Chains A and B, each alone.
Chain A
Amino acid sequence: MAKFLSLLKVQFLAFFGLNKALKSKGAKKVGKLSGLVGALILYTALFGFIGFIYSGIFAESLILTQGNADKLLPLMLAISALISFFFSFYTTTGALYGFKDYELLTSLPIKTTSIIWAKLAFMFISDLFFAVVIMIPSTVVYSQYAVLSVAEIVSVFVMTIFSPLLPMALSVLVGGVVAFISSLFKKKALVQIILWVVIFALIFAAGFFTGMEEEEMVDPTLFIGKAYFIFPLALAASKDLIQLLIFILVNLLPFVAVSLVVAATYKKMNGLLTRKRTVKNFRIRESKIVSKSGALLKKELKCFFSNATYVINCLLGSFFGIIGAVLMAIIVVIMTNDTGINASDMLTPFVPIALTFCYMLTPSTACAISLEGNAFWVTRTSPVSTMDILNAKLKVGIITYAIPAFLSGVLYGVIVGLNIIHLLVLSAFAFAVGLLGSVLGLLMNLLFPMMKWDNESVPVKQGAAVLLTMLCGMGYTGIMLLAVIFIPLPSIAVLLISLLLTAILVTLFYSIIYKKCDSLIAKKIG
């Protein structure tokens, strides 16, 4: 137990640079710890607020459609389980398998099961955070519609604690299979990316298209209610003690079983994942000569596509942006055909908000400098300027964010049949937002670089720059929402103003990067 706790402690100390903050001195310590506590409070408040708003919307929809809000808590539990599934699946490689201190840990006098339990316990605590910040506001909202007894509150509390276990077990299992299959190929990262995209697409399709009726597509409750198909156990959330016990066992037993399977296959899996593949009879061939900027871009693209976590994290916004734009356009077309009312007039003003949210979420640039890590000396000692290095990173941002954003705008406009001017302005705005996300991410990474890490997943998922960019993106989405609601102008005029504002911000942030990059790198990186 002591060894397990020590392993867990080490993980906590590494999380978000907690130990570095604790070991800093004076004002630095206060600043770092305040930043960490502030970020935690902000995240809790943000997710709690989102949970509160969505619970309210779902409760109202349930009252309208079913006469009561009894399914609210199971529905929110299902959503938190889905979040747990994605979060755990996402962290299986890097956090559970293929971490850099593997050799050190396995050489210590610790049982493999202790290592696994410590890794899984850390994942569980992270998942539990999401479950709690979703379920507390949901319970508060539910209590407005029904009288909750103490026993019911305790029951919800217990279910919240146990609810991440089954999704975790499933995701560890699926993540393990993905890791195993990809380990059989030379281009592991590429295979892993393809498998992840296939799995995401399958879950997405299963969740949103299974038996979907036209009216379900325009009713958010029924739309999200498809979560039942993915996590039917949420239906067990009731007032019955036996069902509660079943719920606990159904969550706990698969988790224990998967943990034991992982422990038994752990060394073999790590061996496969870290297996070195070599080329036999290599011959030096004529090399293609490229320009300095071409070489830097090529290197950035190779870095991007060599890391599955990086790709998935950064392309998530683009993926949802394109899919979302197409789905929204289809909804507009169906609603217009069914009701005869031009649904485009109602929904198109909100498209820029959705695009802003998707394309300012996790740009590749927000961790591109951090990912240089200890190898940053290579480009810094080469005859290229700092802006050449940063521009290459920005180009990857444009390729992965601004261009898909533009495409989202075009697809929406074409499917809905917007007039050419509206389509062009919308597409230009989408491009500008993708560019803003990338420039902002780069600036944030210049201000908050994380050059020391044990695993590439750390700067990608835990970097302050990534988190701050995400928060700024959410803030900008809020501004866009307020603009759409409160500016009493036609939607195209609001869009033009937003385009102008976005272009100004892009210019401003880029000029800061241009002027300050050398001094910021000297100050922040050394």
Chain B
Amino acid sequence: MLQIKNLTKKYAKDFKAVDDLSLTVAAGEIYGFIGHNGAGKSTTIKSVVGALDFDEGDILIDGKSVKTEPIECKSITAFVPDNPDIYDHLTGMQYINFICDLFGVGKERNELVKKYADEFELTQNLGDVISSYSHGMKQKLVLISALIHSPKLLVLDEPFVGLDPLASHKLKEIMKEFCAAGGAIFFSSHVLEVVEKLCDRVGIIKQGKLVKEGNVQEIIGDKSLESLFLEIQNG
């Protein structure tokens, strides 16, 4: 579903935020992408979702290039950023309708809104302006609007930040259901326990390079993901 081929992104002449990174996320798979602050996670994620141009390599989503067919790629991808900055002047419902209109979601949207808003316990707040929302409520709204257009690829940057325990649990369930239905998830998190339990495969990025990648159980062996991560970072 997602193929990143030799991705390189430079921010200055001699600084490569992402350096020749390649990875693949298959349909039905949850891929955990971890690394320390400034390792290049967000740059990679923003390149995948088309929010950032890159210098070398290519990114394919369902066989289509982000560079040459950006609209087609975006229409089957949903993105949840690390900080849910959205339009504060809209109400939750107006925001969801806006996203639905952009992604061409038809009349089925009402049923889907009800389903996801109930699951995240946000239905009662959808009539309020987003500026009155807490961080967690905004995060829930972004998650609902990401799921509502039934994407094939879900790209999540620190999706659990700000969520209450119930919503976190619900999100994990939804992620599993999403993959069981054939979707693919590429997500970053600093909560290594969650990554270890939730992901099928994991990739560790350090200074822009993918230094370790593979099936979670295979790469950690009898260690924990946390100790492997620390080993790599200190090594």
Are B107 and A302 within 8 A (Cβ)? Answer: no
Closest Cβ–Cβ distance, residue B121 to chain A (whole Å): 13
By a CB distance below 8 angstroms, the chain A residues around B99 are 378, 382
Q: Give residues of chain B (165-214) contacting chain A, Cβ–Cβ below 8 Å.
A: none
Q: Which residue of A lies closest to B146 (CB)?
A: A381
Q: Which residue of B lies closest to A306 (CB)?
A: B89
Are A294 and B101 within 8 A (Cβ)? Answer: yes
Name the interface size band of chain A: 35 or more
Are A302 and B94 within 8 A (Cβ)? Answer: yes
Decide yes or no: A383 and B74 within 8 Å by CB, A284-B93, A291-B101 being known contacts: yes
Q: Give residues of chain B (57-96) contacting chain A, Cβ–Cβ below 8 Å.
A: 70-72, 74-75, 77, 79, 81, 83, 85-87, 89-91, 93-94
In the complex, A299 has a CB within 8 A of chain B: yes
Are B123 and A282 within 8 A (Cβ)? Answer: yes
Binding stretch for chain A, among B21-29, B30-38, B124-132, B222-230 = B124-132
Are A277 and B132 within 8 A (Cβ)? Answer: yes
Report which of B85, B106, B109 forms a contact with A375, defined as CB distance below 8 A.
Answer: B85
Contact with B along A275-292 (1 / 0, CB 8 A): 011110110111111111
Contact with B along A366-394 (1 / 0, CB 8 A): 00000001110111111111000000000
Q: Which residue of A lies closest to B49 (CB)?
A: A381
Are B101 and A279 within 8 A (Cβ)? Answer: no
In the complex, A67 has a CB within 8 A of chain B: no
The distance in angstroms between the C-alpha atoms of A373 and B81, with both chains bound, is 14
Contact with A along B45-60 (1 / 0, CB 8 A): 0100111110000000
The distance in angstroms between the C-alpha atoms of A359 and B110, with both chains bound, is 42
Are B87 and A299 within 8 A (Cβ)? Answer: yes
Are B102 and A284 within 8 A (Cβ)? Answer: no
In the complex, B2 has a CB within 8 A of chain A: no
By a CB distance below 8 angstroms, the chain B residues around A239 are none
Given A298-B98, A375-B87, 5 more contacts at CB 8 Å?
A278-B127, A287-B97, A375-B85, A377-B51, A385-B71
Name the interface size band of chain B: 35 or more
Are A295 and B101 within 8 A (Cβ)? Answer: yes
Report which of B102, B113, B125, B132 forms a contact with A382, defined as CB distance below 8 A.
Answer: B102
Are A292 and B102 within 8 A (Cβ)? Answer: yes
Are B98 and A287 within 8 A (Cβ)? Answer: no
Are A286 and B110 within 8 A (Cβ)? Answer: yes
The distance in angstroms between the C-alpha atoms of A249 and B234, with both chains bound, is 68
Are B90 and A282 within 8 A (Cβ)? Answer: no
Are B101 and A290 within 8 A (Cβ)? Answer: yes
Report which of A276, A279, A296, A377 forms a contact with B127, defined as CB distance below 8 A.
Answer: A279
Report which of B75, B77, B85, B114 forms a contact with A373, defined as CB distance below 8 A.
Answer: B85
Are A377 and B132 within 8 A (Cβ)? Answer: no
Closest Cβ–Cβ distance, residue A104 to chain B (whole Å): 16
By a CB distance below 8 angstroms, the chain B residues around A373 are 85
Are B81 and A383 within 8 A (Cβ)? Answer: no
Report which of A282, A298, A381, A385 forms a contact with B126, defined as CB distance below 8 A.
Answer: A282
Contact with B along A412-431 (1 / 0, CB 8 A): 00000000000000000000
Q: Give residues of chain A (341-373) contacting chain B, Cβ–Cβ below 8 Å.
A: 373
Are A381 and B97 within 8 A (Cβ)? Answer: no
By a CB distance below 8 angstroms, the chain A residues around B104 are 292, 383
The distance in angstroms between the C-alpha atoms of A189 and B90, with both chains bound, is 13
By a CB distance below 8 angstroms, the chain B residues around A279 are 91, 127-128
In the complex, A490 has a CB within 8 A of chain B: no
In the complex, A307 has a CB within 8 A of chain B: yes
Report which of B46, B71, B127, B128 forms a contact with A383, defined as CB distance below 8 A.
Answer: B71
The distance in angstroms between the C-alpha atoms of A290 and B98, with both chains bound, is 9
In the complex, A41 has a CB within 8 A of chain B: no
In the complex, B216 has a CB within 8 A of chain A: no
The distance in angstroms between the C-alpha atoms of A277 and B129, with both chains bound, is 8
In the complex, A211 has a CB within 8 A of chain B: no
In the complex, A522 has a CB within 8 A of chain B: yes
Are A287 and B126 within 8 A (Cβ)? Answer: no
**Residue among A289, A295, A375, A382 with most chain B CB within 10 A:** A382
